[in-house]
């Protein structure tokens, strides 16, 4: 059995290598889609319209090249960490540097809620399978499932936020934050600055968007936990645990859930796509300065000006995030299930 | 002492019989089924005889402006006196139709590719290479959150209902490839299929007679649930403002909600957003209730628990479950993976 | 005379599945005394596993349900014990070894953690931190919750009689290495070579026989007063079966517990048990000391079963089979359930089911060592071919 530390490195390394072709495919696909029906003249006309004549020749020089050359140029600049620029000249990379951490914070917060609320709910549903408790839990997670993100976000922002007295906009109550933003995660930065009032403020701002995001995606965690628990509960080792004299709580949460989690983890990794897609609308509604809001803008939500490089960057980053989350789930699976050989 | 008539195999039990068994065992799903039937009937009535259910035209302006819900305006009116109830009703056939169109097209494309990828996976042959290619492309597509890719595609394809439907379909089919492939792999080597193979039945005939028939049931069940998910995604795209124009001759829920929320009157006149919002919620909720229960037989893990619970066979303590092996075999984990993958994108 | 550890009285267990009802166990009465080994034998589906799992109330209810009867364990009727109190009885009171060693260990935890958990449960109960039901003198107190005291509370209370804090603490809070020592002791007890290595392995890294030894160690580490072995060797390879059986036989002398040994294998029962009960279609049809039952069976079914056994009891001639088939337990035959297949069957056998009565006119109807048979014509059985 290969389960030593060095085997783990091999395990992770192998999966990282498997990512490369997928990522390359993602970039190619995004590039093709975005260049599909845009000729240099129409694009540069738009460009000209927004940025003035002095950049028109630059634009035509760049987008007039044959597609493979353009792709190569794009890829090489991407490898050097250059994501391109908006029409206004604003660097896409700079936006991403600031916005990505904010989104990661939001997604992790809602993932946390999904785990601490969604998984126990799944256990309860499995425990009372087919009975009242099960029905209640299912209605709960199916309501989240059936709520379009924007609807949930809008309703919470308009009605629930004021009712609970929680802020529904931005990361902090003030625009000027009196401490440096090292990580660009609101709560983490406030903690790093040892600023307690701001920490509370930042958490207050995080609660509503994270809860909406969690509520809407809760079904995935709960359903999977319920399904895995239903699979595990009739197994012999659960019976042995019961026969040891353990109380039902320990039987469920120590013995059964530990095994049910192995599959739930994989699925939680796969939810990354849903969570990220959710941020597009949620960040817009709650004015959360993350990459989702940026995506909303660059893709043209609310009739904003086009940002060609920004749109490609956002799609690629979202795809990378999904792939990385899947990788994380894969590794976690390997750690959780002692039967997985890391070699 | 077991009753042979109740053998819990998927093949032996007819599709409709299974369907009823699930609904009977699961009151929530039954409620969902009733709701779906009511919604479908309403949509047909709106299409065929709109005057029965739709009192006002979509753009008809009455004198009552910003009126609260009342008997003459069930869901109230907006600032120009347009009847919200009529607009919500008129949007029903469109939204429902879009749900079925996208899910149906994805099922056809993805299902066909999934069949090929699952069944003809002999390495070294042309079809084998095709299978590998299909799977790689599918993986790449699955790496995009479908909403993001659909949004990006609408930039290219243009505004409007048609392009949006196309855009979502382009992002939607890979889920069906995963699902169908997983199911094909799980039935491909069932004992009776192997027996047919051993008896000299040709591969193509096995594919049509055995594999397709068995894959159909879970895929249709999944399709039921998917209609709701598609609806959520489409209305999100409508909300972001790239699918439909509202107000217009053909209203759409997402666009309606976005219009009233963005024109800023939702705080004072909540029915403007609550009515289309509730319409989306109830429709999707109905499909989810139905599909969630049905999915218990789709998921190999709950399927087992379900079969155990619903089929009359030997008392469990005397009949040690053969299915209890902790390590899932490869075929099964594939099917589970497919379910998991399809599960994970429900949010829009 | 000592009281029995376990006293089952007229137990009825049914399964309700769909519209059908299966009468899995009907009117079974059984007594097990301290340090006694009782074997139960019967064909697959005769209700012996149901019986075994019903004793610690391990059957899923529903579909199973205990219709009537008592399961008196050390003076308490377990049928009346509420569900949430049942863990108190299990482990330290009644322990069980299951049929499927392959799946009975939790795949996510190491061997050490799983045995140490059992030891910890016993330890906590011995310390009185957790309410338990092990010593016969302690009656159930239903008014109190399962977890009576906090750790702190138990410590303080314990200080008063002894007066020595250090000793109390040392006694109560065991270190990991102390647990390790004890786990090793039990691994050695079940004759595992190289226990230090086994300790750190996961169940999937062990063979079937090894896993069953660990299950046995786990059960014994709780020092139960009743050990139920539900076909502990059936799922193993023949050679491993023999090893595990030898181990069981050796342990029977070392362990201070009454043992209920369930098996479909007459040979296994013959080698291990003091007394044997034969089950057929949910009923106990014959009961008595092993030697006596094997020498002169007094129920036609037992006789047929012995004749059908491929082994040391009968060396010559072809194996015989029992004509007919096991009845469907959702519609059991009236009266004696064996009568449709029985050579001695007469009209009376279709009436009232025969009681399990002493044979050879033994005056004593209760107690140990009495050979009893549920046949109206028990005297004629020796005359059967």
pLDDT digits (tens, 9 = 90+) for C90-100: 877 888 888 87
- Residue ranges of A 5-44 with Cβ closer than 8 A to chain B: 21-22, 25-26, 29-30, 33-34, 36-38
What's the rounded Cα separation, in Å, for the pair A209 and A322? 20
- Residue ranges of C 86-105 with Cβ closer than 8 A to chain B: 99-100, 102-103
- Chain C positions touching B325 (Cβ under 8 A) are 102-103
Residue A65 forms part of a structural domain: no
Residue A57 forms part of a structural domain: no
Q: CA of C218 to nearest chain B CA: how many angstroms apart? A: 20
Least confident window among A32-46, B282-296, C52-66, C133-147: C133-147
Contact B315 C326 (CB under 8 A): no
Report the pLDDT value the prediction gives residue A40, as an integer from 0 to 100. Answer: 54
The larger pLDDT score, comparing residue B155 to residue B212, is at B212
Under 8 Å CB pairs connecting chains A and B tally to: 207
Tell me the per-residue pLDDT of A267-295, one tens digit each, with 9 for 90 and over.
787 777 778 888 888 998 888 888 888 88
- Chain B positions touching A266 (Cβ under 8 A) are 337, 340
Contact A150 B258 (CB under 8 A): yes
- Chain B positions touching A228 (Cβ under 8 A) are 301
Report the pLDDT value the prediction gives residue A209, as an integer from 0 to 100. Answer: 93
> Sign (positive/negative) of CA torsion A72, A307, B144, B115?
negative
Tell me the per-residue pLDDT of B202-250, one tens digit each, with 9 for 90 and over.
878 888 877 887 788 778 878 887 888 888 888 888 777 666 677 777 8
The larger pLDDT score, comparing residue C153 to residue B290, is at B290
Q: Which of C95, C108, C205 sits opposite A1 (nearest CB)?
A: C205
> Could you tell me the strand order of the sheet in which C372-373 lies?
C94-97, C226-230, C258-263, C37-41, C275-280, C283-289, C372-373, C357-358
pLDDT band, very low/low/confident/very high, at A120 (cuts 50, 70, 90): very high
- Chain C positions touching A129 (Cβ under 8 A) are none
Q: Which residues have a Cβ under 8 Å from the Cβ of B302 and sit 6 or more positions away?
A: A226, A227, A230, A231, B295, B296
Q: List the subunits that have 3+ CB pairs under 8 angstroms with B.
A: A, C
DSSP A92-158: HHHHHHHHHHHHHHHHHHHHHHIIIIIHHHHHHHHHTTTSHHHHHHHHHHHHHHHS-HHHHHHHIII
What's the rounded Cα separation, in Å, for the pair A287 and A167? 11
pLDDT band, very low/low/confident/very high, at C158 (cuts 50, 70, 90): very low
pLDDT band, very low/low/confident/very high, at C166 (cuts 50, 70, 90): very low
Contact C92, C223 (CB under 8 A): yes
Nearest chain C residue to B3 by CA: give it: C328
ipTM higher than the 0.85 cut: no
Q: Which of B241, B273, B316 sits opposite A301 (nearest CB)?
A: B241
Please check whether residue A310 touches B, CB under 8 A: no
Tell me the per-residue pLDDT of A197-209, one tens digit each, with 9 for 90 and over.
888 888 988 999 9
Report the pLDDT value the prediction gives residue A303, as an integer from 0 to 100. Answer: 55
What's the rounded Cα separation, in Å, for the pair B182 and B174? 12
Contact A150 B254 (CB under 8 A): yes
Nearest chain A residue to B266 by CA: give it: A158
Contact C87 A246 (CB under 8 A): yes
Separation in Å, CA B203 to CA A134, B193, C226 = 44, 10, 58
Residue A72 forms part of a structural domain: no
- B160-187: average pLDDT: 86
Tell me the per-residue pLDDT of C22-52, one tens digit each, with 9 for 90 and over.
888 888 888 888 888 888 988 877 888 888 8
Beta-ladder partners of C15? C22, C64
Report the pLDDT value the prediction gives residue A43, as an integer from 0 to 100. Answer: 61
Residue A309 forms part of a structural domain: yes
> Could you tell me the strand order of the sheet in which C76-77 lies?
C20-32, C6-17, C64-73, C76-77
What's the rounded Cα separation, in Å, for the pair A131 and A316? 45
Q: CA of B203 to nearest chain A CA: how many angstroms apart? A: 32
3-state secondary structure at position A77: helix
Residue A199 forms part of a structural domain: yes
Whether the per-residue pLDDT at B45 is higher than 80: the answer is: yes
What's the rounded Cα separation, in Å, for the pair B117 and A62? 40
Neighbours of B150 (CB within 10 A): 31
Q: Which residues have a Cβ under 8 Å from the Cβ of C157 and sit 6 or more positions away?
A: C149
Contact C50 B318 (CB under 8 A): yes
Residue A298 forms part of a structural domain: yes
Least confident window among B92-106, B137-151, C366-380: C366-380
Which range among A42-46, A79-83, B91-95, B196-200 has the greatest average pLDDT?
Answer: B91-95
Number of domains into which chain A is organized: 1
Domain CATH number, residue A181? 1.10.3720.10
Neighbours of A66 (CB within 10 A): 8
Whether the per-residue pLDDT at C330 is higher than 80: the answer is: no
What's the rounded Cα separation, in Å, for the pair A205 and A177? 14
Q: Which of A259, A263, A314 sits opposite B336 (nearest CB)?
A: A263
Q: Which of A138, A154, A322 sits opposite B28 (nearest CB)?
A: A138
Residue C27's Cβ-side half-sphere holds a number of Cα atoms within 13 Å equal to 12
Closest CA relative to residue C288, chosen from C302, C309, C300, C267:
C302
Please check whether residue A301 touches B, CB under 8 A: yes
Q: What is the mean pLDDT of chain A?
A: 81
Q: Do strands C226-230 and C258-263 pair parallel, antiparallel, or not at all (unpaired)?
A: parallel
- A31-49: average pLDDT: 63
Q: CA of A261 to nearest chain C CA: how many angstroms apart? A: 11
Tell me the per-residue pLDDT of C213-264, one tens digit each, with 9 for 90 and over.
888 888 888 888 888 888 887 777 777 777 887 888 778 777 778 888 888 8
CA-only gyration radius of chain B, Å? 23
- C144-170: average pLDDT: 43
Q: Which of A235, A243, A246 sits opposite C58 (nearest CB)?
A: A243
What predicted TM-score, i.e. pTM, was given to this entire model? 0.81
Contact C19 B313 (CB under 8 A): no
User: CA angle, C317 as apex, C313 and C320 as ends, to 5°?
Assistant: 75
Could you list the residue range(s) of the whole structural domain that residue A199 is in?
5-34+87-336
- C359-381: average pLDDT: 69
Residue A67 forms part of a structural domain: no
Q: Which of B1, B6, B320 sits opposite C328 (nearest CB)?
A: B1
What's the rounded Cα separation, in Å, for the pair C196 and C198? 6
Residue A66 forms part of a structural domain: no
- Chain A positions touching B289 (Cβ under 8 A) are 142
- Chain A positions touching B343 (Cβ under 8 A) are 220, 223-224, 267, 270
């Amino acid at each position: 059995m290969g389960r030593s530390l060095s085997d783990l490195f091999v395990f992770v390394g192998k999966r990282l290598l498997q990512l490369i072709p997928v990522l390359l495919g993602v970039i190619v696909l995004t590039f093709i889609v975005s260049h599909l029906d845009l000729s240099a003249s129409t694009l540069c006309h738009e460009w000209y319209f927004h940025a003035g004549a002095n950049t028109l020749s630059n634009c035509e020089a760049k987008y007039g090249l044959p597609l493979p050359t353009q792709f190569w140029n794009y890829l090489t600049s991407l490898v050097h960490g250059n994501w391109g620029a908006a029409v206004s000249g604003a660097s896409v990379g700079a936006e991403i540097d600031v916005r990505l951490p904010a989104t990661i914070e939001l997604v992790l917060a809602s993932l946390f809620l999904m785990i601490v609320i969604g998984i126990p709910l799944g256990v309860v549903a499995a425990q009372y399978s087919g009975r009242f408790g099960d029905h209640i839990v299912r209605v709960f997670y199916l309501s989240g499932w059936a709520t379009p993100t924007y609807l949930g976000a809008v309703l919470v922002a308009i009605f629930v936020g004021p009712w609970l007295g929680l802020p529904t906009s931005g990361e902090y109550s003030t625009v000027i934050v009196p401490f440096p933003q090292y990580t660009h995660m609101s709560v983490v930065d406030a903690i790093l600055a040892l600023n307690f009032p701001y920490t509370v403020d930042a958490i207050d701002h995080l609660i509503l968007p994270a809860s909406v995001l969690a509520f809407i995606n809760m079904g995935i965690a709960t359903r999977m936990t319920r399904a895995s628990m239903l699979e595990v509960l009739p197994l012999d080792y659960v019976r042995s645990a019961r026969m040891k004299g353990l109380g039902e709580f320990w039987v469920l949460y120590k013995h059964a859930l530990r095994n049910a989690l192995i599959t739930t983890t994989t699925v939680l990794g796969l939810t990354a796509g849903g969570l990220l897609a959710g941020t597009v609308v949620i960040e817009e509604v709650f004015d959360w300065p993350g990459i989702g809001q940026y995506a909303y803008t660059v893709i043209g939500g609310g009739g904003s000006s086009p940002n060609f490089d920004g749109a490609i960057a956002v799609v690629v980053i979202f795809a990378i995030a999904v792939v990385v989350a899947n990788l994380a789930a894969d590794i976690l699976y390997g750690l959780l299930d002692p039967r997985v050989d890391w070699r | 002492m077991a009753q042979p008539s109740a053998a819990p195999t998927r093949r032996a039990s007819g599709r409709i019989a299974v369907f009823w068994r699930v609904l009977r065992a699961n009151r929530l799903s039954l409620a969902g089924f009733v709701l779906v039937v009511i919604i479908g009937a309403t949509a047909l009535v709106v299409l065929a005889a709109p005057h029965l259910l739709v009192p006002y035209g979509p753009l008809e302006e009455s004198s009552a402006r910003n009126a609260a819900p009342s008997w003459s305006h069930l869901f109230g009116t907006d600032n120009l006196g347009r009847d919200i109830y009529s607009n919500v009703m008129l949007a029903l056939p469109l939204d429902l139709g879009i749900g079925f169109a996208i899910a149906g097209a994805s099922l056809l494309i993805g299902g066909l590719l999934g069949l090929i990828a699952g069944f003809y996976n002999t390495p070294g042959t042309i079809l084998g290479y095709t299978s590998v290619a299909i799977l790689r492309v599918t993986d790449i597509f699955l790496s995009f959150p479908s909403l993001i890719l659909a949004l990006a595609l609408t930039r290219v394809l243009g505004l409007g209902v048609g392009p949006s439907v196309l855009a979502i379909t382009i992002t939607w089919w890979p889920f069906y490839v995963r699902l169908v492939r997983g199911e094909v792999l799980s039935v491909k080597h069932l004992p009776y299929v192997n027996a047919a193979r051993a008896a000299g039945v040709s591969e193509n005939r096995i594919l049509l007679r055995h594999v397709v028939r068995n894959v159909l049931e879970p895929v249709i069940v999944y399709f039921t649930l998917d209609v709701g998910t598609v609806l959520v995604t489409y209305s999100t795209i409508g909300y972001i403002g790239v699918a439909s124009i509202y107000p217009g001759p053909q209203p759409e829920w997402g666009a309606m909600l976005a219009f009233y929320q963005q024109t800023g009157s939702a705080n004072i006149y909540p029915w403007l957003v609550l009515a289309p919002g509730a319409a989306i919620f109830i429709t999707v909720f109905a499909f989810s209730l139905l599909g969630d229960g049905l999915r218990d037989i789709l998921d190999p893990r709950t399927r087992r628990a379900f079969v155990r619970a619903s089929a009359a066979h030997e008392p469990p303590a005397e009949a040690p479950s053969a299915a209890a092996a902790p390590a899932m075999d490869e075929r099964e984990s594939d099917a589970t993976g497919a379910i998991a993958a399809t599960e994970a994108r429900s949010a829009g | 005379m000592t009281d029995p550890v376990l006293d089952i009285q007229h137990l009825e267990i049914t399964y309700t599945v769909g519209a059908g009802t299966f009468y899995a166990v009907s009117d079974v009465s059984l007594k097990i005394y301290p340090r006694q080994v009782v074997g139960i034998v019967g064909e697959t589906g005769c209700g012996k596993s149901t019986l075994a799992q019903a004793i610690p109330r391990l059957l899923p209810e529903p579909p199973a349900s205990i219709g009537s009867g008592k399961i008196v364990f050390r003076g308490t009727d377990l049928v009346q014990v509420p569900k949430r109190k049942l863990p108190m009885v299990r482990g330290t009171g009644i322990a069980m070894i299951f049929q499927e060693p392959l799946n009975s260990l939790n795949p996510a935890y190491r061997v050490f953690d799983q045995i140490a958990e059992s030891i910890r449960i016993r330890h906590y109960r011995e310390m009185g931190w957790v309410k338990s039901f092990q010593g016969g003198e302690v009656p159930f107190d239903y008014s109190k919750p399962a977890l009576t005291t906090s750790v702190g509370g138990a410590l303080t209370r314990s200080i008063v009689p002894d007066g020595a804090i250090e000793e109390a603490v040392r006694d109560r809070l065991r270190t990991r290495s102390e647990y390790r020592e004890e786990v090793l002791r039990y691994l050695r007890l079940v004759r595992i070579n190289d226990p230090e290595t086994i300790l750190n392995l996961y169940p999937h890294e062990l063979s079937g026989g090894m896993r069953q030894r660990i299950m046995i160690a786990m059960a014994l580490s709780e020092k139960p007063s009743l050990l139920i072995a539900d076909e502990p060797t059936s799922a193993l390879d023949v050679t491993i079966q023999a090893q595990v059986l030898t181990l069981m036989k050796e342990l029977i002398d070392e362990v201070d517990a009454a043992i209920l040994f369930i098996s479909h294998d007459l040979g296994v029962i013959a080698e291990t048990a003091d007394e044997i009960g034969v089950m057929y279609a949910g009923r106990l049809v014959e009961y008595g000391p092993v030697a006596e039952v094997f020498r002169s069976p007094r129920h036609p079914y037992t006789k047929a079963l012995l004749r059908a056994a491929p082994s040391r009891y009968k060396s010559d001639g072809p194996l015989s089979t029992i004509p007919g088939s096991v009845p469907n337990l959702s519609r059991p035959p009236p009266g004696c359930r064996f009568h449709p297949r029985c050579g001695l069957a007469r009209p009376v056998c279709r009436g009232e089911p025969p009681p399990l009565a002493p044979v050879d006119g033994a005056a004593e109807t209760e107690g140990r060592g009495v050979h009893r048979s549920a046949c109206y014509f028990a005297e004629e059985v020796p005359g059967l071919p």
